[in-house]
Amino acid sequence: MAAYDFPQDLRSAQQRLHQTWAEYEALGRTLPWSVEPSEGWTAPKVLYADGDPRSLPPSPGYTDEQKAEVARLRHELVELSVTVSTHPYWETVAVGEVVDQRMALKHVHQQDADSGQGEAA
């Protein structure tokens, strides 16, 4: 993959976007299956399906703290996405190169780690 000279603030925003997305996914793996309290359910076996009946246990729903953390992370993901996608750097890139450079930016943290230039966390 070609190396591009991305501005440091764009690199940092992209890195933070990766980190926030990882935090959001990790949080999601710990949350109940339903935002609101819900009784469990069992679906009968579906005609022409080979699987067993499906079921989910009751869900206590998200706590207020969990709801607030999900909202915070979603807000941060949107803000970082806007920061990365509207950065002035993109106006300096030739139209035919924008997609390649945007894809390269998504992996620039891997290049930094390989070359020992990664940011300290």
What is the reported pLDDT for 18?
A: 96
pLDDT of residue 119: 47
Tell me whether residue 108 is exposed, middle or buried, using C-beta atoms within 10 angstroms of its C-beta: 0 to 12, 13 to 18, 19 or more.
Answer: buried
In angstroms, the CA 85 to CA 106 distance is 11
The reported pLDDT for the residue numbered 102 is 94
Residue 40 lies in a domain: no
Q: What is the pLDDT of residues 89-121, one digit of tens each?
A: 999 999 999 999 999 999 987 766 666 655 443
Domain boundaries, position 25:
8-32+63-115
Total domains in the fold of the chain: 1
Q: Given a cut of 70, is residue 14 above it in pLDDT?
A: yes
What pLDDT does 117 receive?
A: 56
In a domain, 79, yes or no: yes
Residue pair 4/101 in contact (Cβ under 8 Å)? The answer is: yes
Q: What is the pLDDT of residue 115?
A: 64
Structural domain contains residue 20: yes
Q: Is residue 12 part of a domain?
A: yes
Q: Tell whether 41 is covered by a domain.
A: no
Residue-wise pLDDT for 36-66, tens only, equals: 999 998 887 777 767 777 788 999 999 999 9
User: Which secondary structure element, helix H or strand E, spans residue 55, and what is its range?
Assistant: strand 54-56
Residue 45 lies inside a defined structural domain of this protein: no
